[in-house]
Structures are given as C-alpha cells and as structure tokens.
C-alpha cells in the first residue's frame, strides 16, 4: 500500500514566531487523527527550519526543506547544502518546484545533480514537475512531463526510487485558484506511473507516491484524493491556514 502524504509548502511566508505558532496549532488540531499510513509534512523557509524541527519534535508533523544545493560546500552565496540540512534534523527536501525553475532558472540538468546529492546524503526528495499552460493548450503536456522526469530522474537505479516522492504540479494551477480536474490529475498520474513502469518495473511504479499540487483546497481535496493514482497533495496557500490544512489532511 502506497504511503499517503499531505505536504504543506509554506514558500516565503511566516516569520519565526508565525512558523512556531502554525506548527503548534497544527499539532493540536491533528493530534487525535489516526493518520494511518499517512504523512503530514510542512516546509518552512530555510531560516525557520531549525526552530520548526524543534517545535515539531513530539508531533505527527515532519519538517522538510524547500530546496538544497547540489554541492557539498563551497562558494555558492545564499545556498544551503545537504550536510547543513542534516545537521538540523532534516530528512526530506523539495526539489524542482516550478517557482525554482521559473524564477531561479533551475534546469533539469541541475535538478538531476540535486537528486543525486539527495541520494548520496541518504535524504529523500519530493520532486516537483509539471507543464505550463501553453504546453497543455498545445496538447504537449504528456511529452513535457515525460521529459522532465526522464531528464532529472531516469538515470536513477530502481532501488533509488524508495527515496523519491513525486509531486505533479501543473504550473497553470499553482496559486491561480484553477485546479486540474480530478480526471486530469488522474490521467496524468496514471501516465506517470506507466512511464516509470516502462523504464523500470511495476514494483517501482506502484510503489512511488505521486502527489498532486495546484490550488488544492478543502472544497476539492476529497475528490482529487479519491482518484486511484493520486496519493496526496503538495499544498501551497491552503497550508498556511490551520483549519484548511487540517480539512485537507482529513480528506486524505
Ligand atoms: O507547492 C505548492 C504548490 O505550488 C501549490 O500551491 P497552491 O496550493 O497555492 O496552488
């Protein structure tokens, strides 16, 4: 049975106090949920990671990073390495978010190196990818997604996929209020599983959790999560509000 995951990407929001407060109220609010086979994740900004890890220590909440540099160390101003993250107790890193690809020019090639660094450091990644609106309009979305996955992940060995969580995020649905329909999400997730099976085998394809991201809200979460190949969500805006985030967790 694949692990279900609800991950909140807090992006560049919340100062130290707001981060701790949100973790505290989320902890209180999900304490009594059974969360069988389900992970609840939050990704605060770098500067608040350490205090977030401490705050979440005895809770059901996992704290992860939003990005990581591929080099071990060196002259990379403003960047953070795997060792630095591990030293404060981080085990999982989001990579390839469309905002990183768009605003910080992260390429598939750089992401392939980052994924390698994740694996070398025995970390895990939530690897994001997804097509632009023009790709979907021109019916190119499957080809775009296949190339993003193949360029950044298909050099891995089958065993490496234990450390990979996928997050399909159609860029046109991120922060826009426009969600992919549950059918569109299912169609893409099934396609993703099919190309992984073709490249590797059924065990790898069936084992990898594939999250959907893009304007997931309490009102649409249940229907999206009901699709057989959707194993959870990567949530942006709604993860900043404890009641909305809890409702999405309950939906899974
Ligand atoms: O990382 C999360 C995604 O970018 C989704 O953001 P959103 O839920 O605000 O659309």
Question: What ipTM is given for this predicted complex?
Answer: 0.98
Using CA atoms, how far residue 103 sits from 97, 98, 109, 132, 216, in Å, is 10, 8, 16, 14, 22
Ligand-binding site membership of 122 (annotated): no
Tens digits of residue pLDDT in 58-117: 999 999 999 999 999 999 999 999 999 999 999 999 999 999 999 999 999 999 999 999
Measured in Å, residue 225 CA sits from the centre of ligand 1 at 15
The reported pTM is 0.97
Q: What strands lie across the sheet with 210-213, from one edge to the other?
A: 61-63, 38-43, 4-9, 232-235, 210-213, 164-168, 124-129, 92-95
214 alpha carbon – ligand 1 mean position (Å): 5
Q: Closest residue (by CA) to atom 2 of ligand 1?
A: 236
Closest CA to 125 of 151, 100, 160: 160
Contact 207, 200 (CB under 8 A): no
Does 99 participate in catalysis according to the annotation?
no
Per-residue pLDDT, 178: 84
Residue 146: active-site member: no
Binding-site residues, ligand 1, Cβ < 6 A:
9, 97, 169, 174-175, 213-216, 234-238
Query: Scanning the structure block, which residue is given the tokens 């809200």?
Result: 217
Catalytic residue among 69, 97, 141, 189: 97
Residue 65 DSSP class: B
Q: For the segment 120-142, what is each residue's pLDDT rounded down to a tens digit? A: 999 999 999 999 999 999 999 99
Which protein residue's CA is at the shortest distance from atom 6 of ligand 1? 236
- Annotated binding-site residue? 175: yes
Specify the length of the chain in residues. 252
CA of 11 to the centre of ligand 1 (A): 9
Domain annotation for the chain: domains and CATH numbers: 4-30+44-236+246-251 (3.20.20.70)
Tell me the two tokens of residue 51. Answer: 């205090």
């Amino acid at each position: 049975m694949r692990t279900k995951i609800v991950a909140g990407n807090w992006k560049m929001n919340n100062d130290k106090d707001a981060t701790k407060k949100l973790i505290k109220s989320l902890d209180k609010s999900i304490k009594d949920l059974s969360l069988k086979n389900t992970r609840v994740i939050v990704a605060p900004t770098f500067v608040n990671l350490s205090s977030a890890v401490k705050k979440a220590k005895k809770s059901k909440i996992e704290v992860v990073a939003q990005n990581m540099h591929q080099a071990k160390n060196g002259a990379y101003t403003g960047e953070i390495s795997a060792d630095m993250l591990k030293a404060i107790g981080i085990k999982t890193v989001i990579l390839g978010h469309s905002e990183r690809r768009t605003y910080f020019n992260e390429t598939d090639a750089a992401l392939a190196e980052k994924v390698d660094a994740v694996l070398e450091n025995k970390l895990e990644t939530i690897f994001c990818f997804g097509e632009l609106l023009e790709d979907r309009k021109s019916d190119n979305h499957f080809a775009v997604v296949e190339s993003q996955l193949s360029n950044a992940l298909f050099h891995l060995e089958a065993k490496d996929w234990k450390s990979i969580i996928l997050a399909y995020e159609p860029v046109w649905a991120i922060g826009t209020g426009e969600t992919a329909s549950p059918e569109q999400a299912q169609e893409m997730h099934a396609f993703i599983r099919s190309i992984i099976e073709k490249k590797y085998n059924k065990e790898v394809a069936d084992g990898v959790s594939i999250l959907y991201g893009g304007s997931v809200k309490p009102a649409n979460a249940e229907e999206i999560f009901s699709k057989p190949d959707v194993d959870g969500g990567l949530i942006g805006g709604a993860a900043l509000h404890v009641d909305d985030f809890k409702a999405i967790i309950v939906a899974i």
